[in-house]
Amino acid sequence: MHNSELPRLDQLDHQILAKLVEDGKMPYTDIAKQLFVSSGTIHVRMKKMEELGIVKGSSLTLDYHKLGYDVTAFLGIYLDKSSLYDEVTQHLQNIPEVVTANYTTGAYALLCKIVCKDTNHLRLVLQDKIQKINGIQRTETFISLEERINRPVNFLDGTED
């Protein structure tokens, strides 16, 4: 999608998104007060952004470590052939430890993020689930030692309005 095809958002839309990215549980009435508009305006704007596909629901951010999942790994996946992408990602979708899967350029066809309880759990996921998927040629695993930055895009930077 080129910039000319992007939905047109004004400064208020960007401000609403910025508030919700900062705190997804912030009530619309609080956002309205902070932005000096009615809560009805916030509802209308959010409905518009949902219909445009800009807002795709909401999610909960968890601290996996506090839930006993101490290993985060990135997995580069080589496919036998790129036409197997859809089939492979359908299988990956059914593995709960796979939290993201991205179709990429470069050496790997897919780059996935996996969250496991420990290295033994990671080994079992790789060996018993992922590497048995038809179409996966081989994988390369990178264990994350620490996540230092994990933030949303600042929607107020670089806006033209």
- Same domain? 45 vs 111: no
Specify the number of domains making up the chain.
2
Contact 45, 93 (CB under 8 A): no
Residue 151 lies in a domain: no
Tell me which amino acid residue 150 is.
N
- Same domain? 111 vs 139: yes
Cα gap 44→47, rounded to integer Å:
5
Domain that holds residue 15: 10-51
pLDDT tens-place string over residues 78-135: 999 989 999 999 999 999 999 999 999 999 999 999 999 999 999 999 999 999 999 9
The torsion region of residue 68 among left (phi > 0), alpha (psi -120 to 50) and beta comes to left
pLDDT tens-place string over residues 22-47: 888 999 999 999 999 999 999 999 99
- Same domain? 128 vs 73: yes
Cα gap 110→118, rounded to integer Å:
23
